[in-house]
Chains A and B, each alone.
Chain A
Amino acid sequence: MDTRTNRAVWELGWGPRIFLVAFLAASVALASAQSAPAAQNLLNQQAPDFTRQDLHGHALHLAGFRGKVVLLNFWATWCAPCQVEMPIFSAWQRQYGPQGLAIIGISMDDDAAAARQLVQRLKLDYPVAMGDARLGLRYGGVLGLPLSFLIDRNGVVRARFQGMTDVKVIESQLQLLLAEPAQRE
């Protein structure tokens, strides 16, 4: 603010001054929200770490999967394409698990009961946890489903699949990552 504006604010008195400060703070917050990048590009970046409880109450810590190739899949019960992919992911867990594949599901449902019901119905045999807005924003904004990330054995995001994706494309990429050795730290 310039000198003249400062003086004008000072002459307002305490009540209007407090209001003005609150208004300016709100304006800055809104502006930052409006100018936020649409989707942060996580490719070739370290995958944002998180710790959650899975739907069985077990701790799920992403960093604990270091050394494995992780397919991190955001889904929801009301997302039809998600339900096409998930049984396939479950089959991959059985097929590629011995080679080091770990699939993690993150439900973006509002209600854990609905997610639990679907996981049981589909007989998913990989861990699933509930997500939230904060986790979604850390992954660049989960603003459409399904959304999956392939994370290599070193914890680096190597691919991002938004929306309905040919599962053969995902499978061929995860096969390549499974063939890569982990770097020693």
Chain B
Amino acid sequence: MLLQPEELNHLLQTPGAEKPLILQVGSRVLFDESHIPRSEYAGPGSQDTGAQLLRNRVAKLPRKTFIVLYCGCCPWNRCPNVGPAYKLLLDMGFTRVKVLYLADNFGVDWVNKGFPVESGH
């Protein structure tokens, strides 16, 4: 279920490797500041609006789509977003969902490690 930042980065850098659909399920403001290249904003998983956005985004996808969720807004054990988003995808029947493990936050566990980022919408 969990994917370490190093694993995801390796996956993204490896030619020919299957690239997951990466969805950020946290804050739009934080996403605009910095996000994983090619990831998409899917709304905060803890809020109804976010859940609806996520549901709409994946509704027509095959249930075997490889999906990686991440947030990184708060320390892992206090993140309100990834849990509900993960559960929603499982309830929808998705079978290949992983959650990026960001122990402290996106800044510390992804950006500060020098992994690639993009800014903007």
Contact = CB atoms under 8 A, between A and B. Distances in A.
Given A30-B118, A38-B107, A81 B75 contact: yes
Contacts of B34: 141, 143
A91 to B, nearest CB: 22
A141 B78 contact: no
Interface residues of B, number: 32
Contact of A108 (B30, B81, B111): B30
A37 to B, nearest CB: 9
Contacts of B44: 78, 110
B74 A144 contact: yes
A27 to B, nearest CB: 13
Interface residues of A, number: 28
Given A131-B29, A144-B104, A38 B74 contact: no
Given A132-B32, A144-B106, A80 B112 contact: no
Interface in B26-54: 26-30, 32-34, 37, 44, 46-47
Contacts of B118: 30, 33-34
Contact of A133 (B32, B108, B111): B32
A108 B27 contact: yes
Nearest to B114: A38
A163 B73 CA distance: 10
Interface in A84-124: 108-110, 114
Contacts of A164: 75, 78
- Chain B binding site: helix, strand, loop or mixed by DSSP? loop
Contacts, number: 102
Given A78-B46, A79-B73, A80-B74, A142 B81 contact: no
A131 B32 CA distance: 12
B20 interface: no
A137 B111 CA distance: 13
Interface of A: 30, 33-34, 36, 38-39, 76, 78-81, 108-110, 114, 131-133, 136-137, 141-145, 162-164
Interface of B: 26-30, 32-34, 37, 44, 46-47, 72-75, 78, 80-81, 104-108, 111-112, 114, 116-120
Given A81-B75, A133-B33, A141-B33, 9 more contacts: A30-B118, A39-B112, A76-B27, A78-B74, A131-B29, A136-B33, A143-B105, A144-B73, A163-B75
29 contacts: A33-B118, A33-B119, A38-B114, A78-B46, A78-B47, A79-B73, A79-B74, A80-B74, A80-B80, A108-B30, A109-B29, A110-B44, A114-B47, A137-B119, A141-B111, A142-B107, A143-B33, A143-B72, A143-B107, A144-B73, A144-B74, A144-B75, A144-B106, A145-B73, A145-B105, A163-B74, A163-B105, A163-B108, A164-B75
**Sorted from nearest, which 6 A-B pairs have the closest CB atoms?**
A144-B105, A143-B107, A133-B32, A38-B112, A133-B33, A110-B28
